[in-house]
Structure 1
C-alpha cells in the first residue's frame, strides 16, 4: 500500500488514537503506582513505538524522557532477532550508558506488541523510582563521583517471561532498594501500563489493519520531519552562538561552560557543542540520550510547538558533542543530577535561537531542578523526593509565570496535604519570593520559598540544584532574576547557608527546618517602560516591593498604593 492509499482524515484519526493510548497508559501508571513521586508528582512518561523502533506517540509528560525510551526499544531490535521477541515478554533497564533512560532512578519498561502473530510495535514507559540503592537515600545525589555510587544498574533483562513475572529479577531490584515494597508496587504499575498500551495498540491494528496503521504512522513521522524542516527554512542561514555557565561542580573549582553553535542551511539544522567544558567530577554529566532529548525539546519549543509528539524529526537534527565533555562523558561518570546541566543546555540553545527567531524566545528561566530528598531513620524509614518549581522567563508580550517547572522537567508539585500525610514532615512556609522576578517591561516569574520542618527524631537531607551562583538572564534590556539557596535552620543562631547546590547526607534533628529557595527568572524589555499601574498592582500582590518599584521600575507610589503619576514621570526622566 502506498501513502496515497490512506486518506488524511484516517491518518489523523489513527494518530490521535495512538496518542490517546499513550495518555491512557499514563493514567494507569499514575493510578496504580505506590510512590508519591509517580502518583502525585507524575514523574513518568508513556509511549508507543512501531515495529522499526520509531517513536509514534508520546504522552505530554516529561520532556527529558523524549527519546529516552527509544534506547531500550532500539537495543531489543539491535541485539535480538525479532523471532526472539515473544508475546508475554516484557523488558526493563535503567543504565544510561547501555540504552536505558538518563539516570538510574528512571526505570524503562517495554513490551513487544503482536497482532496475528506478527510484531507490530512496542508499548513502553519510564518512571522515576524513589530509591534504587546507591550511597544516599533517593539515589539522586548531586555529589556522587561515579555511576557506581548512584544505585543498581539494570541491563536489558526480561521482567516478564511468557506472561509470568520474573520473580528473580523483581527480587534483585527490590533487594537493592531501601523501599522494596514501594519498588515492587511501582514496577507492577509500570507493567499494568505497558499491558494496557499493548492491548489498545493491538486493537487498533485489528480495527484498521496493520498495513493501514503502518502507512499512517509513516505519514505522521514524515509530517513531523517536514514541519521541522519548514520551520528551519524560515530562519536566515547562518550560525547562531550562545554560552552560559553552570555553578562550580566542586566548591573551589572553576565553573563549567556550556557552549553551542546552531547552524542553519536551508532546511537543515545542526547543533555543535564544541567549546563546552570538561566532564564534571560530580553527577551533573549528560549522557547522549539526555542531550538529544534536551535538543529536541528546545527546537520544538522555539521553532514549532505544534510538531507532533513523535520521533519523526529526531533524525532531521545533527548533534555533535565532544567526547569527555560534560555533554558527552566517559563512563562511568556520575549522571544522577544530569538535569541541572540539561537545563543549561536548553538555556543556551534558546539563547542562540533568540537571535534566529527574535521575539519568540523568553528571557532566562529558573532553569534549575532544585531537587531535595528527606530520608528518615531505619525504624521509621521514608524517602521524600521533591522538585521545587521556580520562575519562568518573561516573554516579548507578557510576564513570566510564577512557580512552575520549565524546560526538560514537567513534574507536578506535591500538595502539602499529601506530603504531611505521607511523611513525618511539616511545611511551615510555602510562598512566592518577592522581587525574585527580573524587572522588565514584562516582569520575570517568581521563585518559591519552602520551609520544611522535620518531625521525626532525625532525618538526612540531600539535594542538588543550580543557578545558585549565576542568575537567570534578562533579555532585551530586562534585568536578571535572583539565584536560589538552601538554608538550614533559618532565623536561628544556628542558621547556615549550604555551600554550592549539591549536598548529601546532611544530618537533621527533630524540629530542624530546611529552607529551599528556587531561582526567579529574567525580565524582558526596559523596566521603565512597564506601565506604572501594573507595577502598583505587582506591589499590592507582593510580587514587587515598594523599594524595588522605585529603584528598578522608576515608579513612585502614593500612601494608598496607587502610582504618583507626576513623581513617576520625573523619576523616569531622570
Structure 2
C-alpha cells in the first residue's frame, strides 16, 4: 500500500488529473458514438463523483448535463445498498423519478470504482439518444400528459453486473426504439467512456494510494466551498424578488435571498405542473447551480463543495417540481427559463452583474421520417444557435448556444445532408432588426431545411417565441425564436411548440432564433460601429436612421 500523504502538490496533481480523466471519458464517448447529436453537437456530459456521489470533477460538454451526474449517482446509491454493489457493476438510469433528472431521451451510465476493497469514486456520463420509444418519433411530444407516453423507463438498474451484461435490459432498450442501431452504438460508446474513466482512476490510485486519492478529493471539495463562501461575502445582501411573463401568459416568480452564509432560491409561488413542460426538483437545482456559479465565482471548481451554500425551495406538483407521473419531454425549456429568470432578477437588482437577455432557449428541432435514399427511418435532433445579449463595453455574441447549453456545436450542413433525409438550403445570421443599443445584441440564425421525401414529420419546442430577450440600460429588446413551415404555394405556418407536424417533399423548415438584447442608449453607439453593422448587413439604413439617428 502506498503511504498516505497530505502534500498539497500531490493533491493538486490528483485534482488536475481527475479533470483530465473526465475529459478523456468525454473524448472516448464522442469518438465512438453513432449519432450526430453526440459526436457533432456534443449533446453529452461526463464527470467523476466521490464515493458518496458528490461531483468531484467534470469533463467537457453541456454544463446542465454534468450537473445531473451527482444526483443520479446518489439515487443509485440510495436504491442499491453498498453490500450489493461490486467491482464491474455498471448502472443505467434515464427515469427522472429514479435519478434520471432530465427526460427519457437522456441516458445516464454510472460505474463504481473499487480500490483496496472499497468504492473510492464513480465515473458517470449522460447523452441524448435520438429515440427511446413513446408515442412519437424522437420521444419528445409537447402533447404528452404522462411520462408513460414518452418512452421506455430505466429506473437506476444494473446494466452490467460484475462485468456480465444483463442482456434482458439491453433487449428492452433495443426493442423500444425506432433506431436500434443508433441506440446500440450510443449505448456502448457510453459504456466505453465510464470504463476508460475507471481505468485511469485506478492508475492514479496505484500511484498515490487510495487514502491519498480520497483525501485529495475531500481537499478539492473544501476548496470549492471556501471559494463559494468567499464570493458570498462580496455580494450585496438582501431579499430580491422578480416575476416575468412567459410566452403562454403564465407568470414565473422568484425570491432570491443572499446572506453571508447562503444563496437561496425560492420557487414555491409558481404554476402547477402541466403537459410536458415540467422540470424535476433536481433539474431545478441544476439551473440554480449554474446561475449561482456564473455570478459568484466563475473560475472556482464546479464541484459539490462549491454548491453547499446554495439552497433551493420548491413546491411539489409545480412546474419546478414535477411529481409522478408528470411528463418531462420539454424539461429543458422550463430549466432554461429558470436560469434566465435568476439572471434577470440579479440584473435588475445588481446593475452591471450580467448582460442583456439572450435568445435563451434550447430551440429543440426534431425532423424525421423515411430516408429517401435508404428507406430506413431517420430522426435528426437539433438544438439551435442564437444571439447573446450585449454588455457594457461589448456587443453580444452571435450564433452560439445558450450558457445553459454550454460548449456544444451545431450539426454541420454536410453531415446533416449525408446522414438525414434533408437538404440544408440556407444557413445565415438572422437579419431581423432588434437589440440595438450603445452595444448591440448578437445575431441569431436563419436556417432552411428542405425535406426530400413525403410522409416526414416535425416536432419543435421553442420558448422566448413571444417575449423577446430584454434590453438593459436603455438598450432595445431583441427578437423572438420561432419555426416556420414553408410549403410550396401556401402561406407560412409559424410554430413555437408542435408535435408530428406533417412534412412532404420540398417543404422547408425555416428555423429562426432571436437577436439578443441591447445595452445602453442607441444614440451613444459609435458611428464607426454603426457603419460596420451597415456594411455587414446587420442593420438596415432605415433602422440606422430611426433608432441610431445615423445618416451618412
The answer as to whether partners of 1:437 and 1:520 remain within 8 angstroms in 2 is yes
Q: What is residue 135 of structure 2 aligned with on the other side?
A: 135
Q: What is residue 277 of structure 1 aligned with on the other side?
A: 271
The answer as to whether partners of 2:436 and 2:476 remain within 8 angstroms in 1 is yes
1:23-42 C-alpha deviation (Å, 9 max, x unpaired): 00000000010011111111
Q: CA deviation at 1:355?
A: 4.3
Q: CA deviation at 1:403?
A: 0.8
Supply the RMSD in Å over aligned alpha carbons.
Answer: 1.6
The answer as to whether partners of 1:142 and 1:337 remain within 8 angstroms in 2 is yes
Q: Does 2:377 match 1:381?
A: yes
Q: What is residue 345 of structure 1 aligned with on the other side?
A: 338
The answer as to whether partners of 1:354 and 1:361 remain within 8 angstroms in 2 is yes
Q: CA deviation at 1:142?
A: 2.6
Equivalenced residues, count = 545
**Structure 2 residues not aligned, in runs of 5+:** none
1:101-146 C-alpha deviation (Å, 9 max, x unpaired): 3111000000110113321111111111000011111112233222
Q: What is residue 497 of structure 1 aligned with on the other side?
A: 493
| Cα distance in 1, alignment partners of residues 71 and 252 from structure 2 | 25
What aligned pairs does 1:29-68 form with structure 2 within 5 A after superposition? Answer: 29-68=29-68
1:25-84 C-alpha deviation (Å, 9 max, x unpaired): 000000010011111111001111111211100113112213312233112322333221
* Alignment partner of 1:261 out of 244, 252, 255: 255
The answer as to whether partners of 1:451 and 1:516 remain within 8 angstroms in 2 is yes
Q: Does 2:67 match 1:71?
A: no
**Structure 1 residues not aligned, in runs of 5+:** 249-254, 558-574
Q: CA deviation at 1:456?
A: 2.2
Q: What is residue 169 of structure 2 aligned with on the other side?
A: 169
Q: Does 2:444 match 1:451?
A: no
| Cα distance in 2, alignment partners of residues 241 and 307 from structure 1 | 27
The answer as to whether partners of 2:101 and 2:280 remain within 8 angstroms in 1 is no
| Cα distance in 2, alignment partners of residues 325 and 457 from structure 1 | 40
Q: CA deviation at 1:5?
A: 5.5
What is the DSSP-based 3-state SS (H/G/I as helix, E as strand, rest coil) of the residue aligned with 2:305? helix
TM-score (norm 1): 0.92
Moved more, 78-87 or 503-512: 78-87
What is the DSSP-based 3-state SS (H/G/I as helix, E as strand, rest coil) of the residue aligned with 2:198? helix
Q: Does 2:520 match 1:525?
A: yes
What is the DSSP-based 3-state SS (H/G/I as helix, E as strand, rest coil) of the residue aligned with 1:185? helix
Q: CA deviation at 1:497?
A: 2.4
In structure 2, do the counterparts of structure 1 residues 30 and 213 end up closer, same or farther at CA, with 3 Å as the change threshold?
same
Q: CA deviation at 1:314?
A: 2.4
What is the DSSP-based 3-state SS (H/G/I as helix, E as strand, rest coil) of the residue aligned with 2:254? strand
1:259-299 C-alpha deviation (Å, 9 max, x unpaired): 1111012232111113222322x211111121111111111
What is the DSSP-based 3-state SS (H/G/I as helix, E as strand, rest coil) of the residue aligned with 1:552? helix
Q: What is residue 96 of structure 2 aligned with on the other side?
A: 96
| Cα distance in 2, alignment partners of residues 170 and 532 from structure 1 | 62
What is the DSSP-based 3-state SS (H/G/I as helix, E as strand, rest coil) of the residue aligned with 1:373? strand
Q: What is residue 307 of structure 1 aligned with on the other side?
A: 300
Question: Which segments of structure 1 move beyond 4 Å, counting only runs of 4 or more?
Answer: none
Q: CA deviation at 1:168?
A: 1.4
What is the DSSP-based 3-state SS (H/G/I as helix, E as strand, rest coil) of the residue aligned with 1:59? strand
1:319-378 C-alpha deviation (Å, 9 max, x unpaired): 001222211122211111111121111111111222454312011010011111111138
The answer as to whether partners of 2:261 and 2:309 remain within 8 angstroms in 1 is no
What is the DSSP-based 3-state SS (H/G/I as helix, E as strand, rest coil) of the residue aligned with 2:255? strand
Q: CA deviation at 1:544?
A: 1.4
Moved more, 308-317 or 175-184: 308-317
Q: What is residue 329 of structure 1 aligned with on the other side?
A: 322
* Alignment partner of 1:370 out of 363, 377, 380: 363
| Cα distance in 2, alignment partners of residues 256 and 214 from structure 1 | 47
The answer as to whether partners of 1:105 and 1:128 remain within 8 angstroms in 2 is yes
What is the DSSP-based 3-state SS (H/G/I as helix, E as strand, rest coil) of the residue aligned with 2:308? helix
| Cα distance in 2, alignment partners of residues 76 and 89 from structure 1 | 12
Q: What is residue 390 of structure 1 aligned with on the other side?
A: 386
Q: What is residue 530 of structure 2 aligned with on the other side?
A: 535
Q: What is residue 201 of structure 2 aligned with on the other side?
A: 201
Q: What is residue 421 of structure 2 aligned with on the other side?
A: 424
Q: What is residue 219 of structure 1 aligned with on the other side?
A: 219
| Cα distance in 2, alignment partners of residues 355 and 538 from structure 1 | 29
What is the DSSP-based 3-state SS (H/G/I as helix, E as strand, rest coil) of the residue aligned with 1:450? strand
| Cα distance in 1, alignment partners of residues 246 and 180 from structure 2 | 35
| Cα distance in 1, alignment partners of residues 432 and 232 from structure 2 | 37
What is the DSSP-based 3-state SS (H/G/I as helix, E as strand, rest coil) of the residue aligned with 1:376? strand
The answer as to whether partners of 2:45 and 2:127 remain within 8 angstroms in 1 is yes
The answer as to whether partners of 1:43 and 1:62 remain within 8 angstroms in 2 is yes
